């Protein structure tokens, strides 16, 4: 069902109608029970009001049927709402494997965006129609919140951490982008536009955009500049684990657990190397907290991701010699 009220924003993504349907259901149920209870209070107040000073109220016997009814019906509605909400939640936070990934950095008071092919934009994001799109986001200063009403996607953007949202645009057009977390005196001006284009228009825009400089190439330069390659060699046997084929695999940790080598894990490994040590390695890597900008950090992560072939992205526990950035 694709139902939209006239006062709600346009539905321009694949999941927008499902979010709206759940919202309208919850609002409808809340309104129904609020009106029902209010009417019952009025009816009972009028019908069973005290008509004389010496009137004695009648006794009311317990009713198992009523007790079961007003317990079971709300319980079933609550369970149905919870199940529906869980379904929508997991769909919103589990992007498909073919999603295009963009890097988004929030900064007072702008949105800085980098395409996977290197093109960069400020306060504007061009995306192709019908293509799943994943945004990996972080902040350079304070907490921001990325919100595109037409896509029904919203996520906090935090300094020192990564968050993500994804969507599949279904309509060509220009859509408002807002920051919905107060972030300083110019918060109201931290707005932008998401431009949805046909595949042909998007490819033409990429071709006409300023000459891209691949993020992974910048990351490779930083990797050598900070001498990361002296420990993390392409083959096993270095002082640190090899990063070849790392991204998307599971890493065996010194505490006996495992961790998925995703963007958040790589970020933590660079900034706080001792947080989750890889099995078989000593905590000798220094922290780069405060030494790398978020942009540089994203470039390093892009380079590490480029070392993994697309067909090795499936999860599976790796030996310690192929573990992590530590």
**% of the chain at pLDDT higher than 70:** 90
Residue 87, SS3? helix
Indicate the residue among 208, 243, 262 that finishes a domain.
Answer: 208
Residue 79 inside a domain? The answer is no
DSSP track, 215-281 = HHHHHHHHHHHTTGGGTS-SSS-SSS---TT-TTSEEEBTTS-EEE-SHHHHHHHHH-TTSSPBTT-
Which of 144, 77, 70 lies closest to 107, judged by CA? Answer: 144
Angle of helix 16-47 relative to helix 64-92, nearest 10 degrees, comes to 160
Residue 57 inside a domain? The answer is no
* Averaged pLDDT, 171-195: 94
Residues 127 and 173 in one domain: yes
Indicate the residue among 208, 243, 267 that finishes a domain.
Answer: 208
- Distance CA(13)–CA(6), nearest Å, equals 17
- Distance CA(223)–CA(231), nearest Å, equals 11
Residue 186 inside a domain? The answer is yes
Instruction: Specify the range with the lowest mean pLDDT, choosing from 95-99, 109-113, 235-239, 254-258.
Output: 235-239
pLDDT of residue 41: 93
Q: What is the CATH number of the domain that holds 221?
A: 1.10.760.10
pLDDT of residue 321: 38
For residue 250, pLDDT beyond 80: yes
Residue 16 inside a domain? The answer is no
Give the pLDDT band (50/70/90) at residue 1: low
Total number of domains in the chain: 2
**Residue carrying structure tokens 């309208």:** 24
Residue 247 inside a domain? The answer is yes
Residues 162 and 233 in one domain: no
Residues 232 and 197 in one domain: no
Q: What is the CATH number of the domain that holds 114?
A: 2.60.40.420
Residue 180 inside a domain? The answer is yes
Q: Which domain holds residue 176?
A: 100-208
Residues 192 and 280 in one domain: no
Residues 110 and 193 in one domain: yes
Taking the chain, what is the end-to-end CA distance rounded to the nearest angstrom? 49
Give the pLDDT band (50/70/90) at residue 324: very low
**% of the chain at pLDDT higher than 90:** 36
- Distance CA(104)–CA(137), nearest Å, equals 5
Residues 234 and 257 in one domain: yes
Give me the count of residues in the chain: 326
pLDDT of residue 94: 86
- Distance CA(92)–CA(84), nearest Å, equals 13
Residues 192 and 250 in one domain: no
Q: What is the pTM of this model?
A: 0.67
Residue 179 inside a domain? The answer is yes
Return the H-helix or E-strand segment holding 13. none
* Averaged pLDDT, 85-106: 88
* Averaged pLDDT, 52-68: 77
Could you give the C-alpha distances from 35 to 28, 30, 41, 69, in angstroms and in order? 11, 9, 10, 18
Indicate the residue among 149, 173, 208 that finishes a domain.
Answer: 208
Show Cβ contacts of residue 13 under 8 Å, excluding neighbours closer than 6 positions.
Answer: 150, 151, 152, 153, 167, 168, 169, 170
Residue 50 inside a domain? The answer is no
């Amino acid at each position: 069902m694709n139902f939209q009220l006239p006062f709600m924003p346009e539905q321009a993504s694949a999941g927008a109608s499902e979010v709206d349907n759940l919202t309208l259901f919850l609002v409808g149920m809340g309104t129904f029970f609020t009106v029902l209870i209010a009417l019952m209070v009025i009816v009972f107040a009028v019908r069973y009001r005290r008509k004389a000073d010496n009137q004695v109220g009648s006794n009311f016997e317990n009713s198992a049927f009523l007790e079961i009814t007003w317990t079971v019906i709300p319980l079933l509605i609550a369970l149905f709402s919870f199940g529906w909400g869980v379904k929508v939640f997991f769909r919103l936070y589990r992007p498909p494997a073919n999603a295009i990934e963009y890097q988004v950095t929030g900064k007072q008071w702008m949105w800085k965006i980098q395409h996977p092919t290197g093109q960069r934009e400020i306060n504007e994001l061009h995306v192709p129609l019908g293509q799943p799109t994943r945004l990996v986001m972080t902040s350079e200063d304070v907490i921001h919140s990325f919100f595109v009403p037409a896509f029904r996607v919203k996520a906090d953007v935090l300094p020192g951490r990564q968050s993500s949202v994804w969507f599949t645009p279904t309509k060509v057009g220009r859509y408002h982008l807002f920051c919905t977390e107060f972030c300083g005196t110019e918060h109201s001006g931290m707005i932008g536009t998401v431009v949805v284009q046909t595949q042909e228009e998007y490819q033409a825009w990429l071709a006409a955009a300023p000459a891209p400089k691949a993020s992974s190439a910048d990351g490779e330069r930083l990797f050598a500049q900070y001498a990361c390659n002296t420990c993390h060699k392409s083959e096993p046997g270095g002082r640190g684990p090899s990063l070849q084929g790392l991204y998307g695999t599971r890493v065996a940790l010194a505490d006996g657990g495992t961790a998925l080598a995703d963007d958040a894990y790589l970020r933590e490994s660079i900034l706080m190397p001792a947080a989750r040590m890889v099995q078989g390695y000593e905590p000798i890597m220094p922290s780069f907290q405060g030494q790398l900008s978020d942009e540089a950090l994203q470039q390093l992560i892009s380079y590490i991701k480029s070392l993994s072939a697309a067909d090795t992205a499936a999860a599976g526990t790796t030996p310690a010699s192929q573990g992590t950035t530590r």
